Amino acid sequence: MKAMLCTGYGSPDVLQFGEASKPTPKANELLIKVQAASVTPSDCAFRKGDPFVVKLMYGLRKPKFAILGVEFAGTVEAIGPAVQRFKVGDQVFGMSPKTFGSYGEYLCLAEDQPIAKQPSNVSAAEAVAICDGSTTALLFLRDVAKLQAGQHILINGASGAVGIYAIQLAKYYGATVTAVCSAANRELVKQYGADHVIDYTSSDFTQSQQRYAVVFDAIGKSTYGHCKRLLTANGIYLMTVPTLSIVLNMAWTSLGKGKKAKFAATGLNQKPANLNFLAELITAGTLKAVIDRRYCLADLAEAHRYVETGRKKGNVVIEI
């Protein structure tokens, strides 16, 4: 099969188009013919082996999985004899955070991994796009912050993949949303549900007089220290990037009552139930895809270069 092979850690040039053996499903696995994958900042980190913890987890000298790529959408082409949740021909979407593999024509995945049937009202590209940011935003907003109707949330980095689906999920949970983005993305975030917008290029959102039950820094550009004055008495500051500052503040604020700082690594904590829930929201039209650019598999390195600019809006999708 055709695949984009990661030949070592490094620049996008380590991604080389080539041939790999088509995988065979084990008893509990699906063989999925991949139609779409996504490129995320995490994919770039896996490719670079930076931060160093990536190398500790996935191979010191080169990635132990030659085909990277986590999110996918595609068709079930074969199943192992023990598979019960899916049948041949099902259109599915999901994540392969432990074994990767979506940058190739086929991947095998155990059925207990985060996989769901793809809603019929979206394309494979749209499903994979929604899967990327919404799985992260769901765990932060629903499970960590326990966002409630009537609460006010501020989302920094609102035009990125995590931010744009965080806006949509926060509206679903009945919150009022203030989105922080550049002026160029003001209309985009309003279109997806933001009630208020702060342009970070002309004003400092940490100086706002508004107070928020939740401050979600989806892009990881702020600190708890600068944001804690924005929080209500028991407010929660959420951060997607594991900086030393958030780790220390998380430990410190966990000791007492009042304001909290929280980081979560969502990728390895996804379950089929989360994907099924998100699929229901897609079917209901509550979650809508935001696709900035589409590339073919052979142009994956270009897609990685674009994602690394840090300027993408929503998602970058690979169509296979």
Ligand X SMILES: NC(=O)c1ccc[n+]([C@@H]2O[C@H](COP(=O)([O-])OP(=O)(O)OC[C@H]3O[C@@H](n4cnc5c(N)ncnc54)[C@H](OP(=O)(O)O)[C@@H]3O)[C@@H](O)[C@H]2O)c1
72 neighbors 32 (Cβ within 8 angstroms): yes
Nearest to 94 by CA among 225, 305, 270: 270
Interaction of residue 159 with ligand X, rule CB under 6 A? yes
Candidates 72-80, 145-153, 158-166, 254-262: pick the segment binding ligand X (CB under 6 A).
158-166
The Cα 102–Cα 128 span in angstroms is 11
- The CA distances from residue 100 to 1, 151, 204, 266, 272, in Å, are 16, 37, 38, 15, 16
Among 266, 270, 274, 289, binds ligand X (CB under 6 A): 266
Interaction of residue 260 with ligand X, rule CB under 6 A? no
Among 38, 40, 134, 178, binds ligand X (CB under 6 A): 40
- Tokens 């912050």 locate to 145
Considering beta carbons, is residue 23 or 41 the nearer one to ligand X?
A: 41
Considering beta carbons, is residue 74 or 157 the nearer one to ligand X?
A: 157
The interface mask with ligand X, positions 206-235, x = CB under 6 A, is: ------------xxxx--------------
Q: Both tokens of residue 296?
A: 């073919």
Nearest to 106 by CA among 20, 14, 232, 179: 20
Q: Both tokens of residue 148?
A: 């409630």
Interaction of residue 178 with ligand X, rule CB under 6 A? no
Interaction of residue 38 with ligand X, rule CB under 6 A? no
Considering beta carbons, is residue 178 or 266 the nearer one to ligand X?
A: 266
Q: How many CB atoms lie within 10 A of CB 21?
A: 8
**Residue 106: CB minimum distance to ligand X, A:** 25
* Residue length of the chain: 320
Interaction of residue 200 with ligand X, rule CB under 6 A? yes
**Residue 309: CB minimum distance to ligand X, A:** 8
- Tokens 């933001």 locate to 194
For ligand X, the binding residues (CB under 6 A) are 40-42, 133, 136, 156-157, 159-163, 180-182, 184-185, 200, 218-221, 240-241, 264-267, 307, 310-313
